[in-house]
């Protein structure tokens, strides 16, 4: 990436339009975490390809703001560029909006592409900047002017979920949405998030790498629903199925036009954290606006029993693929040459052998040695490390199956370890177990649960910068809201049926990184005079490496949890692997 030349071209366009600063966001018009290549303007300008970050360009400065997950990666990718790294969350580092209020004079103008920023972000930004006399122009799509050789919008076909994997039928889901609409008095509900559209239509696609979604919007009314999509994606069979549920298809490009044409008497429900600012501004001023968390977002977060049963099957097959991979890696390290990219390809190949496999669920984090200290590291040709029989390797990976989405992290000892590596591994395991064993009353927030995973580390003065748990979709996005387990004050309760990750970690720059992650489903554990109490059932079925554990630091309860978990893993997987793989599994699952 020639960031210097890109910045020069951007500033030339800013000068022509009288713009003092331009903000480039990561998202596409649907606020996707992982946008299609067509929308990767921030990456084109900066060369930074992390999933979170904002680039701000002024007349004399260009900066990237990103969080602690990407400090190391961003520093490497911005090295030698015209862009300075601003580490969000570090003392003395203002956020990019505050930075602009310091930098720009009253009367200044900031430009953004309103399709790439959510309505609530835009309003908050506009209010803050307006207090300093700074205006924001949301109609500046500089990607159209500057993004050379820009990939086209994806046009891959979509498919209907098989009946045995779809969960609830479309009609049932639409009825649940309309009930929620009636409860808040809405006549129209705008659905902009790609995974929400996919869930509601019981369709999947491949427009976005790793996420089985497709570019589309929906507007649901009291009597029908409108799907905005490239018609070339649809088959006659899909058209008949949609028509049976009163879903009318329209051109994707007509969405903004039709939003503007919603009757002035309508009462429109939408999530301002999902709908982009440009579309929100297109709504007729006379419409009553009802804002709240996405109706579909809330519904799809709670998995029904059929979905949970399917997810468990997917995790069993995923665990079998992991066993075949891990057995080969641990028995051959030091005997044959292997690199991070070699291992990543081999793991994907093992998963691809499994029934109902679609794709990986994200880019595999195959991180050996000091590379594992980069939280979201993905090996490249330039960074590709050769793996040796010493130290630790962190492997965070997952897959999309027609019956579920997996995400599992294991850290393996490949040879001799330092005392610090063993301590950090043990503390991480204690955190994973503590959250897995948590019992808590209904209406508990993820913020309250986050401390379970950190307590053991805090006693040693150790912590990590990322969240402890994220929601996971059902053959959908590997990161799914609204639930979250982290230090952030997210006002969402953890409910029965929610699938959430449990993934504490410890990272030491230049040395090592450790993370142990299982997916869990929230279950009811008991009812007492004090109310309903919930807990977690572990879905991930793959052994946790016992080699690095400092056994004396585990409590009897923690040892019991680990032994019970491994007994369950062995029972679940022993009929899915054979030969040397089965022998490896049995050894890996022996009691501590």
Distance set, CA 360 to CA 52, 515, 542 (Å):
20, 19, 17
Q: What is the mean pLDDT of residues 408-420?
A: 97
Query: Do the Cβ atoms of 222 and 177 come closer than 8 Å?
Result: no
Tokens representing 9 are 């071209």
pLDDT, residue 3, reads 76
Token pair 């230049």 in the structure block, residue: 510
Q: What is the mean pLDDT of residues 156-175?
A: 95
Between 4-18, 264-278, 417-431, the lowest mean confidence (pLDDT) is in: 4-18
Cα 222 from Cα 178, distance rounded (Å): 6
pLDDT digits (tens, 9 = 90+) for 206-249: 999 999 999 999 999 999 999 999 999 999 999 999 999 999 99
Scored b (16 or more CB within 10 A) or e, 248-277 reads: ebbebeebbeebeebeeebebbbbbbbbbb
Q: pLDDT band at 23, cuts 50/70/90?
A: very high
Q: pLDDT band at 82, cuts 50/70/90?
A: confident
Using a 10 angstrom Cβ sphere, with 0-12 exposed, 13-18 middle and 19 or more buried, the burial of residue 510 is exposed
Query: Residue 588 pLDDT > 60, yes or no?
Result: yes
Query: Residue 475 pLDDT > 70, yes or no?
Result: yes
Tokens representing 273 are 């954290």
Token pair 């299982």 in the structure block, residue: 518
Q: What is the mean pLDDT of residues 159-176?
A: 96
Instruction: Say if strands 480-485 and 469-471 run parallel, antiparallel, or are unpaired.
Output: antiparallel
pTM: 0.93
Whether the link from the prior residue into 560 is cis, omega within 30° of 0, is no
The SS3 assignment for 179 reads: helix
Q: pLDDT band at 131, cuts 50/70/90?
A: very high
Instruction: Single out the residue of 41, 192, 208 nearest to residue 112, CA to CA.
Output: 41
Query: Do the Cβ atoms of 550 and 577 come closer than 8 Å?
Result: no
pLDDT, residue 288, reads 97
Helix (H) or strand (E) holding 577, with range, is: none
In which region does residue 308 sit, left (phi positive, over 0), alpha (psi from -120 to 50) or beta (all else)? alpha
Q: pLDDT band at 145, cuts 50/70/90?
A: confident
Q: What DSSP letter does each residue of 104-116 carry, written as one string? A: SPTT-EEE-BGGG
The SS3 assignment for 581 reads: helix
pLDDT, residue 382, reads 87
Q: What is the mean pLDDT of residues 499-525?
A: 97
Q: pLDDT band at 362, cuts 50/70/90?
A: very high
pLDDT, residue 497, reads 98
Query: Residue 406 pLDDT > 90, yes or no?
Result: yes
Cα 560 from Cα 554, distance rounded (Å): 10
Query: Residue 1 pLDDT > 70, yes or no?
Result: no
Helix (H) or strand (E) holding 381, with range, is: none
pLDDT, residue 104, reads 93
Mean pLDDT, the chain, as a whole number? Answer: 95
Q: What is the mean pLDDT of residues 51-63?
A: 91
pLDDT, residue 132, reads 95
Cα 173 from Cα 217, distance rounded (Å): 16
Q: What is the mean pLDDT of residues 366-373?
A: 96
Higher pLDDT, 3 or 79: 79
Cα 5 from Cα 183, distance rounded (Å): 53
């Amino acid at each position: 990436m020639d960031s210097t030349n890109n910045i020069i071209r951007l500033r030339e366009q800013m000068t022509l339009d009288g713009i003092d600063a331009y903000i480039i966001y990561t998202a596409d018009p649907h606020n996707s975490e992982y946008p299609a290549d067509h929308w990767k303007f921030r990456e084109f300008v900066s060369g930074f390809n992390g999933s979170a970050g904002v680039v701000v360009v002024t007349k004399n400065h260009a900066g990237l703001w990103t969080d602690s997950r990407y400090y190391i990666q961003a520093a490497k990718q911005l090295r030698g560029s015209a862009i300075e790294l601003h580490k969000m969350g570090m003392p003395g580092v203002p956020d990019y909006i505050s930075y602009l209020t310091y930098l720009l004079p009253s009367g200044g103008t900031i430009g953004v592409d309103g399709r790439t920023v959510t309505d609530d972000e835009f309003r908050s930004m506009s209010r803050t900047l307006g207090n300093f006399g700074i205006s924001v122009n949301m109609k500046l799509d500089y990607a159209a002017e500057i993004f050379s050789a820009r990939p086209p919008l994806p046009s891959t076909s979509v498919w209907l979920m098989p009946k045995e994997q779809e969960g609830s039928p479309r009609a049932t889901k639409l009825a649940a949405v309309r009930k929620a609409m009636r409860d808040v008095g809405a006549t129209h509900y705008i659905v902009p998030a790609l995974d929400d559209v996919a869930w509601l239509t019981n369709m999947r696609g491949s427009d976005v790498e790793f996420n089985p979604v497709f570019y589309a919007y929906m507007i649901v009314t009291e009597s029908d629903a409108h799907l905005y999509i490239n018609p070339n994606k649809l088959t006659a069979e899909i058209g008949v199925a949609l028509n049976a549920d009163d879903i009318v298809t329209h051109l994707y490009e007509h969405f903004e036009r039709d939003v503007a044409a919603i009757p002035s008497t309508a009462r429109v429900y939408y999530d301002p954290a999902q709908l982009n600012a440009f579309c929100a501004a297109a709504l007729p001023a006379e419409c009553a606006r009802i804002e709240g968390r996405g109706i579909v977002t809330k519904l799809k977060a709670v998995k029904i029993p059929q979905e949970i049963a399917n997810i468990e099957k997917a995790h069993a097959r995923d665990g079998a693929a992991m066993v075949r991979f891990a057995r080969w890696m641990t028995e051959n390290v030091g005997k044959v040459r292997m690199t991070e990219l070699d291992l990543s390809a081999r793991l994907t190949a093992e998963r691809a052998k499994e029934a109902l496999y679609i794709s990986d669920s994200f880019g595999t984090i195959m991180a050996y040695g000091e590379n594992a200290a980069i939280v979201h590291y993905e090996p490249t040709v330039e960074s590709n490390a050769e793996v040796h029989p010493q130290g630790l390797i962190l492997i965070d990976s997952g897959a999309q199956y027609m019956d579920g989405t997996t995400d599992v992290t294991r850290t393996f000892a490949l040879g001799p370890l330092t005392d610090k590596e063993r301590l950090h591994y043990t503390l991480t395991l204690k955190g994973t177990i503590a959250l897995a064993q948590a019992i808590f009353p209904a209406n508990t927030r993820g913020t309250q649960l986050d401390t379970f995973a950190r307590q053991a580390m805090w006693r040693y003065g150790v912590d990590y910068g990322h969240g402890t748990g994220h929601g996971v979709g059902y053959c959908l996005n590997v990161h799914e809201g609204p639930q979250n387990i982290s230090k952030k004050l997210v006002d969402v309760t953890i409910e029965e049926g929610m699938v959430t990750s449990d993934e504490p970690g410890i990272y030491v720059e230049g040395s090592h990184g450790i993370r142990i992650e299982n997916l869990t489903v929230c279950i009811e554990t008991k009812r007492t005079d004090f109310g309903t109490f919930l807990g977690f059932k572990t879905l991930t079925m793959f052994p946790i490496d016992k080699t690095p554990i400092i056994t004396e630091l585990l409590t009897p309860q923690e040892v019991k949890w680990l032994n019970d978990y491994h007994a369950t893993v062995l029972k679940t997987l022993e009929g899915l692997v054979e030969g040397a793989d089965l022998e490896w599994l049995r050894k890996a699952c022996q009691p501590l």
